[in-house]
Amino acid sequence: MSDLNQTSIVGRFTQDPIFKKTPSGKSVCSFSIAVNDGYGDKESVAFVNCECWNKTAEFVAKYLKKGNRVGISGKIKQDRWTDTDGKNRSVIKIVALNVQGLEPRIEGKSMEVQPAQEPSQFEDTNPFDDNEMPF
């Protein structure tokens, strides 16, 4: 039985998104958002790495930039690898399935992209091949 893996988060882009194409032609976009919590002396900031694929990646690359406030929903993913020194490394990120710009509309375009299919409709719930990671 699979556990529930769903998250929603609101924050601001810490830098412009990085857009790339995989060798097979799929679009992928990586970015980081800053999420503020608390207030006054108790305020803290968490920096969250995110990535999105296909039409969502194209939307993010075209319409969003550093400083934009966004709402993201998706799933948590952990990438693991061994570095050149033989040390095991890992990073946790959000794979964004829905990205909504929370700034005013740009040129009459809606600032929201839904995935083409709900994750449960994919034959494989992983919308990409890990071997196609361009970074």
pLDDT digits (tens, 9 = 90+) for 30-80: 999 999 998 889 999 999 999 999 999 999 999 999 999 999 999 999 999
Is 132 inside a domain boundary?
Answer: no
Is 29 inside a domain boundary?
Answer: yes
The answer to whether the beta carbons of residues 119 and 96 sit under 8 Å apart is no
The answer to whether the beta carbons of residues 9 and 72 sit under 8 Å apart is yes
Query: How many alpha carbons lie under 13 Å from residue 49 in its C-beta half-sphere?
Result: 9
Q: Please give the residue range of the domain that contains residue 13.
A: 7-127
CA distance 83 to 72: 30
The answer to whether the beta carbons of residues 51 and 93 sit under 8 Å apart is yes
Is 135 inside a domain boundary?
Answer: no
Is 19 inside a domain boundary?
Answer: yes
Is 79 inside a domain boundary?
Answer: yes
CATH number at residue 39: 2.40.50.140
Question: Could you give the number of structural domains in the chain?
Answer: 1
Q: What is the pTM of this model?
A: 0.72
pLDDT digits (tens, 9 = 90+) for 97-127: 999 999 775 555 555 555 544 443 333 444 5
CA distance 133 to 101: 25
